[in-house]
Amino acid sequence: MRLNDIEQAMLAGALGEPRRWAIEQQRRVGRFFDAEDFVPIAQVHLMADAESLGPVGVEFLEKMAAAPPEHRRVRVPSITDPRGIDFDAYRRLGQTEAMASLERRAIDAFRAMGFLMTDTCINYQTVMPPVLGEHIAFGDTGSTIYANSVQGARSNFEGGPSALAAALTGRTPRYGYHVPEGRRATRVFVLRDRPTDLSGWGALGGVIGRKLQSYWQVPAVMGVDEPPSSDELKHFGAALASFGTVALFHMIGVTPEAPELPAVLGPVVPATQSIGADDIADFYASYGGGGDKLDVVVFAAPQLSLVEMQQVADLLDGRQVHPQTAVLVVTSPEIKSACDRLGLTQRIERAGAIVLKGVCFYQMHAREIGEAMGWKRLMSNSAKLVNIIGGYGYTPSLGSMAACIDAAVAGKVPEKAW
């Protein structure tokens, strides 16, 4: 890889040990992907929940944070993904003091490095939306795919160590979605039936994601006549990234790089595949659980927007969650503040649900929570969450937001939830 003067200085340790570690980490990854050089970035979004970090990761951060300020401070605006502990609610969820202590140590280290603790995966809706052509380093698959696709920014998946390195150096290796050739569509899907709600858009992302096999594939979706909402695209992208491990989609006539299909095609024109309501119904049915006692309903992954919080509140008004079922509604700290101010939190919690802030369910020691609370059957309107949570010992069901609320009130999973 070609390194310019400042990058050479970082590698030589002239700007301190944290930046030396960072550029070395980035150079190893850049070489692996045949990057020719680095590209400056405008902002960093870091995924570093304490469950992923573990004690080893937290000790690593603390060493960084102990360096002199001129060595440890981030070089570009750097914000954080959801964390593992909501300090106002963790005891109610069976989380331990050890978990909370690890979380506090990680937060202290990030603050010392100059990170803004936004604790959100919907930063593209709520903090600083990236702009067309902007190079960034985003560290959540859902935030990356939204920024790349809907906003036309340029980012690879930057896992925690990599996003941390990008924050310390202000650059990232130029490969993958930073390179125009990497952004061309390699698969084309034609939508026959438009999804009717958020979980339907998530299911569509799951259907297409299951057909993709690699990070380097870029799906183009045709047949979407009217633009989906930001929340619909959020659920679609999050599920597509989760099931397909892809970081970019083009929606023809909707996303900014794809006014028409030829604009995103390379020299090889891929065959088209048709997706319809039957595919989406099969996707829902693959989860099942109809008739089972329902332990917990989770609205998260991605965190809910203010509009989604209002929808949950509307659906819960005048109703009461079944005593044997828990409902968790998860959003960012900023949206939670708005919900408090607008009375939405009170309306949701009056019905027996719990509003959590700054966390996401699968990032908060979900296995231990399930064991502590006796939760097994989980229902969500997030296709992404039901994809992840099976590995944590839960048996997931997928349904629309309205079906999830009905199920929470009834205390059992309906036969048909969409």
Partner 1 sequence: MAEEPAPGARIVRGHVGIGPRVSGEALVAEDHFSARYDLDRIAGVFSRPSHKLHGQSYVGKVLVLIGAKGGVATAWMLRNMAEAGRAPLALLLNTSNPIMAQGAAFADLAFMDRFETDITKAVAMGDRVTVDPAGGIIIIDKR
Site residues (CB under 8 A) for partner 1?
A: 25, 28-29, 31-33, 47-49, 51-57, 60, 139-141, 156-162, 176, 213-216, 241-245, 362-363, 367, 387-388, 390-393
- Nearer of residues 53 and 369 to partner 1, judged by Cβ: 53
User: What letters, b where the CB count within 10 A reaches 16 and e where it falls short, cover 357-379?
Assistant: bbbbbbbbbbebbbeeeebbbbb
Q: How far is the CB of 414 from partner 1 (least distance, A)?
A: 23
Nearest distance from C-beta of residue 363 to partner 1, angstroms: 8
Based on CB atoms, which residue is closest to partner 1, 99 or 348? 99
Nearer to partner 1, 180 or 214 (CB): 214
Q: Quick check: 380 and 396 in contact, CB under 8 A?
A: yes
- DSSP state for residue 45 in the 8-state scheme: E
Helix 198-210 crosses helix 277-285 at what angle (to 10 degrees)? 90
Nearer to partner 1, 53 or 74 (CB): 53
Both tokens assigned to 362: 């699968």
Whether the CA torsion 72, 77, 78, 82 is positive or negative: it is: positive
∠ Cα 406 410 415 (to 5°): 70
| Shortest Å, Cβ 191 to partner 1 | 23
100 phi/psi in degrees, rounded to 5: -65, -40
Q: How far is the CB of 410 from partner 1 (least distance, A)?
A: 26
Distance in Å, CB of 137 to partner 1, minimum: 11
**Exposed e or buried b per residue across 234-272, where buried means at least 16 C-beta atoms within 10 angstroms of its C-beta:** bbbbbbbbbbbbbbbbbbbbbbebbeebeebbeeeebee
**325: closest CA among 406, 224, 399?**
406
Is 87 or 216 the residue whose CB approaches partner 1 more closely? Answer: 216
For partner 1, the closer CB: 306 or 413: 413
Closest approach, Cβ 156 to partner 1, in A, equals: 5
Nearer to partner 1, 30 or 333 (CB): 30
Is-contact 373 296, C-beta < 8 A? yes
CB of 216 to partner 1, least distance (A): 7
Strands (E), 201-293: 219-222, 250-251, 272-275
> In this complex, which beta carbon is closest to partner 1, that of residue 157 or of residue 418?
157
Least distance CB 249 / partner 1 (angstroms): 16
Q: Hey, what are 165's tokens?
A: 């390195």
